Amino acid sequence: MTLQRSRSDEWFSRASALIPGGVNSPVRAFRGVGGDPFFVERGSGCRLFDVDGNEYIDYVLSWGPLILGHAHPQVIAAIVEAASLGTSYGAPTPPEVTLAEAVRDFFPSMEMLRFVSSGTEATMSAIRIARGYTGREMILKFEGCYHGHGDSFLVKAGSGVATLGLPNSPGVPSELSKLTLTASFNDLEAVEEIFRIHAGKIAGVIVEPVVGNGGFIPPEADFLPGLRRLTEEDGSLLIFDEVMTGFRVSRGGAQERFGITPDITTLGKVIGGGLPVGAYGGRRVIMEKVAPIGPIYQAGTLSGNPLAMAAGLAQLRILSDENPYPVLEQRTERLVGGLLRIFAERGFPASGGALGSMWGIFFSESPVRSFADAQASNVGRFRKFFHGCLSRGVFFAPSAFEAGFLSTAHRDGDIDETLQRAADAVRDL
């Protein structure tokens, strides 16, 4: 199958003259897999259609938020209705409160919360609160975990930073980097040693409870409980970055699935129904330190945007009413299991897994438990597999270090079609 490229190539040329790399987020640039990106015209259900008329089964889903698929009629109707009343007011609106109540229903640990306009804003705010609440300055993060492009996070980060091979970013002050401690994901002994060396100095530990921005890496059984124990003993805050895992690995995110209650949770993606949004929240005693009732300042002119609130509320209501999680998990496991069987039949060592509707694979001889393991996987083989699938109309994440997703719009027939096309792609490797 040969994809038509002329119109995408034209748009990419125009974009490259104006936008760095021709994209507004680095991971879209295909630098991790080679080649140039296609330009999307529209989405419907689990399918994308590009400007050249090519059709793709989509497992990126805007990097996670589209759990109901593209252009879900109820979500679109909610956006249209909200837009007919106005797009922004700079004043409180009832939908902000209603959506906050819905989020708290899914995430009871968020006793109080605040909306922002992106996951990066949410994580940056969470770190500021941890520092302001504890009076400490150090934070601990994990190699390969990506928490947005805030200065404190661009140390041994994942996502586009990993794809580009940048362990750090120019422009991040060295003095600030010194306040960011790092450890390997799933290495509880290393975390224990860090807390021993820096006892009483760590404001908070921020973690993707299931790594998605270094590829799909689940936690080992003792890891998250260990983080909870260590932070409680030291007086540090435990921050779960559930921007990716929230509403994905289970109804109540990773904290529900693993039975761990963090002090602060950050969310994004799903709660916007495809529109830009984020949220952070946690224990009331912590959140009451946030302005205007507390001294820790955070603000956002477009926070609680009525269009995003309407889209998010429509999506969460559907998730609550229909409870698609058992079927989503079954289909996701069937996809991953099918891919692993295809690789095994061709003699390609591979590992992978799924939780809820979040999944990932690596061309690796052994299970991947850390970002170092992910980096040791066969990235070259992944690139060939990616392009083989893309040329056959299947869109996986254009990086070996990103998780994939399913939506309620993916049916069994779509999974079957995907596996057939993937098998064809593997025969060409």
How far apart are the C-alpha atoms of 122 and 277, rounded to whole Å?
9
Q: What is the pLDDT of residue 32?
A: 87
Residues above pLDDT 70, as percent of the chain:
93
β-pairing verdict for 138-142 and 202-207 = parallel
* pLDDT over 80 at 368, yes or no: yes
Cβ-contact 280, 265 below 8 angstroms: yes
**Does 141 participate in catalysis according to the annotation?**
no
- Catalytic pick among 36, 50, 241, 263: 241
- Catalytic pick among 269, 280, 325, 414: 269
**Does 201 participate in catalysis according to the annotation?**
no
Over residues 104-118, the pLDDT tens digits come to: 999 999 999 999 999
Tokens 């601990």 appear where? 140
- Tell me the average pLDDT of the chain: 93
Query: Would the pTM count as exceeding 0.85?
Result: yes
* pLDDT over 80 at 379, yes or no: yes
- Catalytic pick among 56, 146, 280, 325: 146
In sequence order, the 6+-apart residues with CB closer than 8 A to the CB of 217 are: 144, 185, 186, 210, 211, 360, 368, 369, 370, 371, 373, 374
How far apart are the C-alpha atoms of 16 and 18, rounded to whole Å?
5
Domains located in the chain, CATH noted: 6-63+324-427 (3.90.1150.10), 73-321 (3.40.640.10)
